[in-house]
Structure 1
């Protein structure tokens, strides 16, 4: 599991709907479908994060923060930005602040993906990951610009974040409960991860209690649990896990993030649905 001594692992799962994200190695009988085949809503969402629990011996006394995620769509693809700010306080008075800024673009065709992810501790940038990933027939690869120039071959079945979101949504609507995928999101300078998604039963609008948000109150939802596994084919334990309530338009109503040493809860408190371009 992750710990605060390993920033690459600790920060890569902070972001929701990355996190919510790519999927192709389906163990359910669903055909591959483009992201436009489901009604994913372009939107800006703000989440407030609070500490749910901390492992005994972690010395974590408190943790809190904010996440702002924005999905924008035109007929060429999806642009996504994500800003996460949170602070962890430890016993003895020490604390550290994290800021993660991510900007990505994914082609509607699913064959092109660009990314820039910056991580800062207490205002000082400590990591920058930038590059471009391609899907060319059966071949998948990524060219990194930062932190160093290199090319990596990806798993042949790898897809990108919005494809993952669309496929999880399709699985939920079809009543499927298990999905597995090779995922590349560019949040570290490594390759793909394997992600499993466990989809719960459909939640009716009446049971979902989203009355605070007019855009969501009439929508069904599903509880989704995502587990992120390392590239090691023999790995049996995930690096980290995220649980969420996924609305029928792709918006997350809440999320629980498990980093091993601690768990954070993110609650949706502001939402703006954007007008989508009509694509033919």
Structure 2
């Protein structure tokens, strides 16, 4: 799951249940935990659809945000040789004068399971009007260098630096790092949400947690998990500032070893939004 932009689309009717109550007409089937010492691979990620309730966690002074609420729907499908994902996310912001602003986006990707190619589209909206579109295709070589060919907002190419990771591979790399006892992963990430190529990321990892009972989502109970905080940095600002810059955005998540995230905090500097998973179900697919 990638959450590097405030991306929103109204998900009407998805979250009718009270916060914290799961709805799972087709729940994710339980699977055994992968033994520590065995690396997680693309085949271990779960094809799934998850819905999240979003709410304001805190607002920072002297900001002007008084409230935030919305919903997010994330879906990832096993398309045999790759992962097809779609993220739709809605958020209504209310300022201190009571004015409401509705923002929305629809973000889709197809990433090959070898982590070498990514097709992407992102449409962002404010008050129902389209404000930006990003689309194109990225291709990496074995050392992580590569090129992005954009078709929107303009036709152009951007080079990708050595070690660049695509979204699902980044998830697998960070999960394996946590399972191996690492506490830090630093890597360029390209997910198609920026018109300027890769972003630098720093991921801080907690200790790996053993399986535990997960109320409402029994399919997660046999699995290990980790809490991580991912900071995103503008590469140009990093290079101009000698590497010491403030993150443009940060997100904290609890990831289970099958790639499902059930809790998140999205830090947009002026305010922080909490996301809580309220629905999880299987999505058919595969070879």
Query: Normalised by the shorter chain, which TM-score bucket?
Result: 0.7 to 0.9
CA distance 1:119–1:147, shift in 2 (3 Å): same
2:67 is equivalent to residue 75 of structure 1: no
Of 135-144 and 235-244, more deviation after overlay is shown by: 135-144
Matched, 1:86 2:78: no
Moved over 6 A (4+): none
Q: Is it true that 1:140 corresponds to 2:149 in the alignment? A: no
Which residue in the other structure is 1:200 paired with? 206
Shift of 1:75: 2.4
SS in 2 for 1:215: helix
Range moving further from structure 2, 196-205 or 238-247:
196-205
Match of 1:27 in 2: none
Match of 1:108 among 94, 113, 117: 113
Alignment partners' CA distance in 2, 1:262 and 1:180: 25
Q: CA deviation at 1:109?
A: 2.1
Structure 1 residue 229 and structure 2 residue 233: aligned? yes
Contact 1:51 1:62 in 2 (8 A): yes
Q: Which aligned pairs between 1:52-71 and structure 2 lie closer than 5 A?
A: 52-71=57-76
Going from structure 1 to structure 2, the CA distance change for 1:78 and 1:181 (only over 3 Å counts) comes to same
SS state at 2:76 partner = strand
Where does residue 158 of structure 1 map in the other structure? 164
Match of residue 26 from structure 1: none
Report the secondary structure of 1:168's partner residue: helix
Higher mean displacement: 132-141 or 153-162: 132-141
1:126–1:54: structure 2 CA closer, same or farther, 3 Å change rule? same
User: Which stretches in structure 2 are left out of the alignment for 5+ residues?
Assistant: 9-38
Q: What is the aligned counterpart of 2:132 among 108, 127, 130?
A: 127
- Measured on the aligned residues, the alpha-carbon RMSD in Å equals 2.0
Q: What is the CA distance between 1:35 and its match in structure 2?
A: 4.6
Partner residue in 2 for 1:262: 271
Deviation sequence 1:128-165 (CA, Å, 0-9, x none): 00001111455411111011111111112212111101
| Structure 1 unaligned blocks of 5 or more | 1-10, 17-32
What do residues 26-74 of structure 1 show as CA deviations (whole Å, max 9, x unaligned)?
A: xxxxxxx8952x6111110101111011011212110011111111113
**2:6 corresponds to which residue?**
14
Provide the secondary structure at the position in 1 that maps to 2:89: strand
Summarize the Cα distance change of 1:182–1:235 in structure 2 as closer, same or farther, 3 Å threshold.
same
Preserved contact between residue 41 and residue 276 of structure 1 (Cα < 8 Å): no
Q: Does 1:184 align with 2:190?
A: yes
Aligned length: 249
**Paired residue for 1:149, among 125, 145, 155?**
155
d(CA) in 1 for partners of 2:196, 2:57: 30
Alignment match, 1:251: 260
Secondary structure of 1:203 counterpart:
coil
**TM-score normalised according to structure 2 size:** 0.82
